[in-house]
Amino acid sequence: MNNTGNQKAMSDVSTLLVLRHRNNTVGMVTSLSADGEVIDVTPENRDEGALMRINASEHSFAEFYSDFYHRLKDPEDYSFFKAKEFEAYETVLGLQSYLAGSSADEKEDLKQYEVSIEAVESLRNEKNKMTEDGSERSRASEKRSSFGDCTAQYRYQVEDVNWGSMAEIGLDEAKLMELGALEHLLRGFKTPMLVPVRFDHGEEGNCVVARLQLRLDNNGELVVHVHRVQKRVDFRKKFMGHKFSKEDRMNLLNSGNMGRVVDLLNTMTGETFPSLVSLDKLTNELFSLRLEFVRIPEVICGVDLSAEQRELIRSGKPLFVENLVSRQNRLFNATVQFNAERQWLDFFFNRKLKEDGFEWCVPATFRGVTLRRWQIEKLKAGEAAYIKGLVSKKGKTYQGYIRFNKEVGKIEFSFKKMDK
């Protein structure tokens, strides 16, 4: 394609810019986590290949943004701007420069350039009214409603899927629904299970199992990516220049996450970059994510994380967290660890060190009290540490002794001093 054609192709693709109100920083959106947190890159850490690419046409963008917005955990924390893909870098620099030298009133002027969810919803509803047949609902609409969820929460719509391409691998809408895979695909996630797919032009008997995911290609078209099951990982071979240690191998096989930051090599450019590595245990594929793209939320299931805790998770290590709140408003404890393949957190329950070699880390807090360094050192050594300043549910203060149980990865409390 000539330069004119390239410019036209890029002009048909937009990307999304995000302004974080918490710290007045502007970034380029790469994805949205399963928990509704925005994942973005700053200009100095830009990676054009990782940017979210959106069909720039009015109605296509409206469909996308409505789905995107309603998947956000806290929409009021952000403002979003639409930019042509080839102008995104310069636009971010301009916005950041404007914010740095503007008064509060001048910053309010940016609202006229934001993507308005009200305007988007209005445009989307207008389109739906024009295309809706009042006497008959389509089969896709009926099945979509069976999810018990509004369609605005999906990244893609049933009618967006290229069902002709899906048929080539032996799948259709009914089959995907029967398997429980369609909802995950429409939300933009991989199928949580292995799906039987046909290959080699549909010749009889040529079937494999794989995980599927819907993605937009470079032309803004929705395509299905097939992640076939691979042979067992050969850890003797280097992965992007990294030689796996015995501990790396055990961590990947047991938890799916390597548990530390390593420098990986781009063999094309010779560039090295710190990254996390995870294993898709269903397909045996290794995935890496640059550390600059790792985003850790400040709050997990109602629990505020300290800067030290967030940095610990960002470094790939597991962190035990108490008193998390489930969607059913029930308290639970879990160990969380960042997964490079999912680009979000894994939750582990009741894992034991002796059974699977999982490396537990001493939490930085206990019942809301930040532990001192000497307390953490005692806990690491298996000793009991005195703690005071704890507050009961009735508001009364109390004190006692704590010890780290390496078998279950949690801190235990006793009013009496415990034996070593």
Cα separation, 285 vs 291, in Å, equals: 19
Q: Are 41 and 30 in contact (CB under 8 A)?
A: yes
Least confident segment among 71-75, 155-159, 319-323, 326-330: 326-330
pLDDT value for 255: 85
Residue 38 CA from chain centroid, whole number? 8
Most confidently modeled range among 122-136, 250-264, 314-328: 250-264
Distance CA 18, CA 92 (A): 9
Q: What is the pLDDT of residues 187-232, one digit of tens each?
A: 778 887 888 888 765 444 567 778 888 887 777 778 888 888 888 8
Q: Which of 132-146, 211-225, 278-292, 306-320 has the lowest mean pLDDT?
A: 132-146
pLDDT tens readout for residues 148-194: 232 335 678 888 888 888 888 888 888 888 888 888 888 778 887 88
Confidence of residue 315 (pLDDT cuts 50, 70, 90): very high
pLDDT at 141 over 70: no
pLDDT at 142: 36
Six-digit token pair at 114?
């934001």
Query: Which range, 100-104, 150-154, 312-316, 340-344, is most confident?
Result: 312-316
Helix (H, G, I), strand (E, B) or coil at 87: helix
Q: Which regions of 99-165 does DSSP assign to beta strands (E)?
A: none
Enter the DSSP assignment of 239: B
Residue 352 has pLDDT above 50, yes or no: no
Residue 238 pLDDT: 92
Distances from the Cα of 210 to the Cα of 75, 198, 234, 283, angstroms: 34, 10, 20, 7
47-86 pLDDT, tens digit per residue, is 655 677 787 677 678 878 887 888 888 888 889 998 887 7
The answer to which of 50-54, 203-207, 289-293, 398-402 has the lowest mean pLDDT is: 203-207
More confident residue, 45 or 350: 45
Rounded distance, CA 173 to CA 167, Å? 9
Whether the pLDDT of residue 134 is over 50: the answer is: no
Whether the model clears a pTM of 0.75, i.e. scores above it, the answer is no
pLDDT band at 275 (very low <50, low <70, confident <90, very high): very high
Please report, rounded to a whole number, the percentage of residues in the chain having pLDDT higher than 90: 10
Determine if residue 316 is left, alpha or beta; phi over 0 gives left, psi from -120 to 50 gives alpha, anything else beta: left
Distance CA 163, CA 150 (A): 22
pLDDT digits (tens, 9 = 90+) for 101-115: 777 777 777 777 888
Instruction: Specify the pairing of strand 385-391 against strand 397-405.
Output: antiparallel
| CA-based nearest residue to 65, from 11, 122, 140 | 122
Tell me, what amino acid is at 326?
Answer: S
Question: Does 46 score more than 80 pLDDT?
Answer: no
Tokens representing 111 are 């609202």
What pLDDT score was predicted for residue 240? 92
